[in-house]
Structure 1
């Protein structure tokens, strides 16, 4: 059996952090359970979203039979209510019930699904060690071997695409080997958008094209196009499809060996307050060429990022707040 469906969810509503673009110092007003300023927990509203998401995920068809997550706390916290309810529900029903997957779900933590930081002259924070995360989330599979983590000094946009491409190819291949029918991926806004583009083969030359959406706890669904017995698509057919599509989608790089159809695009219909905190690309988030008075090109959300001016003894600079 080959993998048929990939569900992708962005983490729920979280608290913000800020970064000093000159020193690379990250700060947060609310302490994270992992102790890392760029690894915040969900807000109370985010927890509510995660619980609403869990109810929705339990009713999906085909049902989820494997879960992958970014190593950041907010992504794991977003899917934990679903995994816990699934496993509790499984324990109470007969394994012959066709509506309930027979296996207990675990979470494969994959660094390749982690947060995107722009290139910088300083090192960005990393996620917490797997041993610490396993102590916080009991359903993590400690034996899973992750993809490589992002570069500590950040990534260009092509490097982001390459990292996500390698990660999702690896996930699809593993699921095919293990006979998984559908999987859930919990990740971040930039990765949500890049995954949509890679899976459908619709990678624009202009990164700021608004195509695949990324709302908090929004759920996207991708179904495999079964071109051959193994679901793989030849290079010739990929090129024909790209020429037929026309428009801005002409880039030949980052092609996956499989092609997927987008069925839902960050659906939030199951959330009480619907679509919130949408995110789009609007720059490369690079810190490399910043002077002391400069602000970086940034990404945008429906609630704009804010900058807080702080004065020093003889000069001032801007802390960039990421929501």
Structure 2
């Protein structure tokens, strides 16, 4: 194909239900449903009313200003699914065919002290949206506790795999939308432009709570992935530093675009907590996805609500029976 555009959008922090990145050691009780929402320690969260409004505004902006998008790749986090769903639905109403894909490669920074919510099942995802490709294999999967370089390596491998797969598909989309978290956006921007900063917290890319980025590919170079060269954690080692971008030259045409939001730009995120080094034993720790995901929580809450309704009806019946005094 002659070109490939990567549009990146994320929604995190202010417009999601919980704000913070609390360590699991500070959690009260992951097994108590009453502690899942309205707290900092819930396993997965949804957008607030503001976030849902922003998602609708994003949908209108993408549909009117970026009609070239024909595929959407999203993180498995519910807030990301919620963010792109209005756009998917708008496209479908207008008769536009768009591929809707979930990919583990877009997961947040994987860390040993953060318990993971269970990955949604195929059934849950199909019920959420019937066109979401829930059985497609992810282009990349987190392999363990990631330090600074491993997180770069995972994002680089995801991008290389994505670009290569699209280049090799004659019927593939030429412009794709990625929906993920703030840290991934900052890393991907550096990787696509081949700019490796002297400090990971360098303010080279503005990362607001919700924003739109567009990376356009000007010169096409075939992507080669050498599976024999791997990082200590196991990701293929993709060369991208010192101006060597993946698959050609890329430029940012839209950088943290927020003009379409009625709220304007909200908050700036700084990638400051990713460690530069890990011991081999730390790196091998893989957080188990043993927490309920958003779909599980909704199902449990629904069952709890139904049980309370049945109990209330039973109590009403008992009270009614109690006042029936024989003549």
Q: TM-score, normalization: structure 1?
A: 0.69
Partner Cα distance (1:130, 1:253) in 2: 40
- Paired residue for 1:215? 208
- Paired residue for 2:80? 75
CA drift of 1:20 comes to 4.0
CA drift of 1:124 comes to 2.7
- Paired residue for 1:269? 259
Partner Cα distance (1:52, 1:214) in 2: 18
Partner Cα distance (2:108, 2:91) in 1: 26
CA drift of 1:74 comes to 0.6
Query: CA 1:24–1:205 in 2, change beyond 3 Å: closer, same or farther?
Result: farther
Q: Deviations over 1:152-208 (max 9, x none)?
A: 5x3111111111111111111222223322110000000011111111111213111
Question: Does 2:128 match 1:136?
Answer: yes
Structure with higher Rg: it is 2
Q: Deviations over 1:225-275 (max 9, x none)?
A: 22xxx44499xxxxxxxxxxxxxxx94498523321011111100000110
Query: CA 1:233–1:137 in 2, change beyond 3 Å: closer, same or farther?
Result: closer
Query: CA 1:142–1:21 in 2, change beyond 3 Å: closer, same or farther?
Result: closer
Question: Does 2:8 match 1:8?
Answer: yes
CA drift of 1:278 comes to 1.9
Partner Cα distance (1:169, 1:60) in 2: 26
SS at match of 1:259: strand
User: 8 Å contact 2:36–2:43 — kept in the other structure?
Assistant: no
Structure 1 residues without counterparts, runs of 5 or longer: 91-100, 235-249, 290-323
Question: Does 2:192 match 1:202?
Answer: no
CA drift of 1:145 comes to 1.4
User: 8 Å contact 1:52–1:270 — kept in the other structure?
Assistant: yes
Partner Cα distance (2:117, 2:86) in 1: 25
Q: CA RMSD in A?
A: 3.1
Structure 2 residues without counterparts, runs of 5 or longer: 225-239, 280-327
Query: CA 1:260–1:272 in 2, change beyond 3 Å: closer, same or farther?
Result: same
User: 8 Å contact 2:194–2:241 — kept in the other structure?
Assistant: no
Query: CA 1:260–1:7 in 2, change beyond 3 Å: closer, same or farther?
Result: same
Q: 1:279 aligns with which of 246, 263, 269?
A: 269
Question: Does 2:109 match 1:109?
Answer: no
How is 1:5-154 mapped onto 2 (pairs within 5 angstroms)?
Answer: 5-11=5-11, 13-16=15-18, 19-20=22-23, 22=25, 31=36, 37-61=42-66, 63-90=68-95, 104-118=97-111, 120=112, 122=113, 124-131=115-122, 132-152=124-144, 154=145
- From the two aligned structures, give the one with the greater helix fraction: 2
User: 8 Å contact 2:155–2:184 — kept in the other structure?
Assistant: yes
CA drift of 1:144 comes to 1.8
CA drift of 1:26 comes to 7.7
Question: Does 2:181 match 1:181?
Answer: no
User: 8 Å contact 1:62–1:181 — kept in the other structure?
Assistant: no
Question: Does 2:147 match 1:156?
Answer: yes
